[in-house]
Amino acid sequence: MIWTNLDNVFFIGAGGIGMSALARYFVSQGKAVAGYDRVSTTLTDQLVREGIDIHFEDRPQLIPMAFRNPERTLVIYTPALPEKHHQLNYFRKGGFRVIKRSVALGEVFNTGRGIGVAGTHGKTSISTMLAHILHSSTLGCNAFLGGISKNRSSNFYLDPGSQVIIAEADEYDRSFLTLFPEIAVLSSMDADHLDIYHSEENLRRGFESYIGQIREEGLLIYKFGLSPAIPDHVTPYSYSVEQKEADYHVEGLTLKGLGYSFTVVCPDSILPVIKLQIPGMLNVENSLAAVAVAHQLGVPSENIARALSEYKGVERRFDVQVHTKNRIYIDDYAHHPTEISAFLSSVRALFPGKKITGIFQPHLFTRTRDFADDFARSLEMLDELILMEIYPAREEPISGVTASMLLGKVNLNEKVLINRKQLLRVVKERNPEVLVTMGAGDINQFVAPLKEWCKGL
């Protein structure tokens, strides 16, 4: 166990999906954990029930007395915080060790057999599939996930006897450069976070810097066709659903209900048939990456196939909320044009001939500005678009970058821009046959009421 001289860990932004996994880790290590977040959510409610003291006002007076000793308290914060945050500045001025989430994650990750899952898309699904496979095996794992595993109802896996640590290697803010993995996964390198990287070429170099940090005699599992620069000390293996030249590829792919049945061909063997119960071709591809890592770690083929057949998915990743004769409702985290296109392609394949109505909440002004035309083309895969206002997250507005601007670029006859108060009324008026919600902001707050409405029809 590291940080043996610490009694307390305080999280500023405790309710974030990555922060909360770390908070749960420190609780498992016997530390007293407390924190602040801007709003109360289902996740913060769970953390409170698990013994974490969380408050929701940015006032230093609310910091528990036990956490005011700089020699015994570590402070971890999210980079999404404004610099003028009062509690952050209280700790900085008070001589505390104050570190970003990525630094804390790196200090945990690098002590074990680290498996880092990188890519602009697919990190959470691959990490969660892999965690489920390894947790179901004798190898076990500890995992920090960017979503809630439906098998575990958590974003944190703990196997105290295991040396394996799975983490998402996040490219935002170059966070993945704190990780030095034994095995790295690379699922995609599409342009994103241009507010950080400024160009697609710089983003690519960031991923290649991360790959360069793979440990001696380590492995890279990458999607066939990406062709990153790979250092000599790393052994690469590729995966692909379509390309038979890939080291790990699929044969006998068959649609079974909403899921898929298929066989994985490995470099030295063929796995038993996998019956993946969750929908979406992207999830077949994601499962290949997880299979490749588990296979390289020596998990028996039968264990891999059985675990994936029992895998239930991740909340907000092709998350089927309602599937009845009269109504289909699917929620997804898609917030990048490539993700939206892949998601909607899978929805079309599952429900050919049906009218698809999509609610989309753009995430970040910079992302909307940088990819406005690409967003428009991907959203045109819908039959009907209900567009929400841009969710700003950490950003200030940018002149001329609005949801109305984006709507004007979308070539659809049926499209409308709404505010939050109008959403449920507009959906009910349109009475959609297939409804999808997409976005990384707070659109998740509408999932429960939309599900209840759909189920009542």
CA-based nearest residue to 190, from 370, 362, 363: 370
Q: What is the per-residue pLDDT for 44? A: 96
pLDDT tens string 40-61: 999 999 999 999 999 999 999 9
Residues of the chain with pLDDT under 50: 1
Identify whether the C-beta of residue 297 lies closer than 8 Å to the C-beta of residue 280.
no
Q: What is the per-residue pLDDT for 1? A: 46
C-alpha–C-alpha distance, residues 175 and 140, integer Å = 25
CA-based nearest residue to 452, from 329, 357, 297, 342: 329
**For the whole model, what pTM was predicted?**
0.92
C-alpha–C-alpha distance, residues 180 and 113, integer Å = 10
C-alpha–C-alpha distance, residues 39 and 45, integer Å = 11
Identify whether the C-beta of residue 189 lies closer than 8 Å to the C-beta of residue 211.
no
Radius of gyration of the CA atoms of the chain, in A: 22
Q: What is the per-residue pLDDT for 195? A: 73
CA-based nearest residue to 62, from 81, 82, 44, 35: 35
Q: What is the per-residue pLDDT for 253? A: 96
Maximum Cα–Cα distance for the chain, whole Å? 64
Write out the two tokens for 294: 């588990």
The 3-state DSSP class for residue 378 equals helix
Q: Which domains does the chain have, with CATH numbers?
A: 8-99 (3.40.50.720), 110-244+282-299 (3.40.1190.10), 319-455 (3.90.190.20)
Q: What is the per-residue pLDDT for 193? A: 66
The 3-state DSSP class for residue 452 equals helix
pLDDT tens string 399-430: 999 999 999 999 999 999 999 999 999 999 99
